[in-house]
Structures are given as structure tokens and as C-alpha cells.
Amino acid sequence: MLRLGRREFDPREPVVMAIVNRTPDSFYDRGATFRDEPALARVEQAVAEGAAIIDVGGVKAGPGEEVTAQEEARRTVGFVAEVRRRFPDVVISVDTWRHEVGEAVCEAGADLLNDAWGGVDPRLAEVAARYGAGLVCTHAGGAEPRTRPHRVTYDDVMADILGVTLGLAERAVALGVPRESVLIDPGHDFGKNTRHSLEATRRLGEMVETGWPVLVSLSNKDFVGESLDKPVKERVIGTLATTAVSAWLGAQVYRVHEVAETRQVLDMVAAIAGWREPAVARRGLA
């Protein structure tokens, strides 16, 4: 059972995590939710469309202008507090690698710290433990935050992913993070080229077999774009195809831009697998 904030999720229950970027330069929405009101409207829409988790980010993942910890906190802390006030039951996640920011957002009501850079700040897990928050343990191939991979090689990319994420997960639990609130993430695109991310997807079942809930962040990423030779705004179909494969292989949490479309894909895969009843069943019964 995955427990985050006030919510519990059955191991076979697919969960949508909606991206809300509090950045002026995000790669996909180009700052559409940088200001408070559009961001809050995005949260309301995402919840209505079936998102159980809202993932708030104050720094874009790629290279760009420097964003200090103070500025990252300014972009996220007040917003987290307002989302907590308006949506008391939604799970609030914050995408950060910095323990100072993690501390501030947990004080404001965050339930989950999404560490996309693979434990580069080891004190972040300590913050999660202190507040009883969840933690996402991601494989980033040892990359420094906000850098792009360059000629990265692995003898076995999934072996490396498992070694890193399981180590981070066990360390988090040893520090006091609730075991049922820890997730592992293969880190598509982070410290990887397209072939690495495709192999990680193909072998996702190996992560699922560890027993830790698996989170995947696939939405409109470069490995989708390069696989299909599509620009950022034309990657939704490829993303949804990858989502369906990941769902069939057993991933549980999906960090996405397109909530409604993802929800339909996950529900359809669950119906095919026999984990979910059809919403209606009239055909052949009249």
C-alpha cells in the first residue's frame, strides 16, 4: 500500500501526478503557470480530471538562469500553502533537490519530496524523515542538477538504475522515511541518452519486481521526441504510448502534463489487465 499525505493507494491503482511548474522558462508550457492564478486554475483542472498528486516545481530541469534556493522557495512555498488550503485532500509533491527548500515546503504542507536528481543533496531525505513526508528516489546517473548528459555509458543501465534507486530508498527508510511512502523512479532522460531511456522502459518490470512503487516521468521528454523525430509540442501520442507500456509493466505513478488523456490510458490498461471493471457494460446484454 502506497501512503502519501491523507491518501492510500492500492498497489494496482494507477496514480496521476500533475505537473505545475512555477517557472518562467519551463520546457513545455513556457511559463504558463508561473503566476499564481493560472497555476491555481491548473491545479483545479488537474484535480477535476483525475490527478491525485500535484507536483510543484520551482526550477526547470534543464540549463538556464541560476535559481537560488531562496528564489526557488519564493516560487513554491506560498503556493504550496494555498494549494493545501484549497485542496486539503490532494497530495502535494514538490520537485526539488535542495534540503532548504524541502524543509520550507514541508512546513507549508507538502506531503512528498520529488528528488529528481538522485540524492545529490543527502540532507533532503533527512528532511522527509523529520516531517514524515514521502520521497521519490530517482536515478540520474550521477549528473549534477540542471545539466544535460554527454556521452554517458553504462555496462547495464537497468542494473545501475536498480543499484542507485534501491540504495537511496533503503537509506531513506533507515533515516525514518515511512517505507510505504517511498517511490523509485528510473529517471528517463536524466543522465541518459534516448537508447538508455528506451531500455529502462522496456525493462521497467525489473523495478516493479523489487516491491517498491515505481514512478515514471515520461511526459513529452526528449527520448519520446527523438524516437519519433517530433518537437516538444508533438510528443503527446508518443508519451501516451509509453505510458500504456509502462502501465502494463506495472508502474504506479505517472508525472504528466496531460492529465485527462493519461487517466484514460491508465484506466484502459487496467481494464484490459482485469484490474478494473469497465465503467459501463451494456454491449450484448440488451
Q: Which class for 211: exposed (0-12), middle (13-18), buried (19 or more C-beta within 10 A)? A: exposed
DSSP 3-state of 111: coil
243's grid cell = 505510458
Residue 221 a catalytic site member: yes
Distance in angstroms (rounded) separating the CA atoms of residues 255 and 67: 23
Residues 203, 159 contacting (CB under 8 angstroms) = no
- Of the residues 42, 98, 192, 221, which is catalytic? 221
- Of the residues 42, 75, 98, 255, which is catalytic? 255
Residues 251, 208 contacting (CB under 8 angstroms) = yes
Q: Which class for 78: exposed (0-12), middle (13-18), buried (19 or more C-beta within 10 A)? A: middle
* Cα 67 off chain centre by: 21
Q: Which residues are catalytic?
A: 221, 255
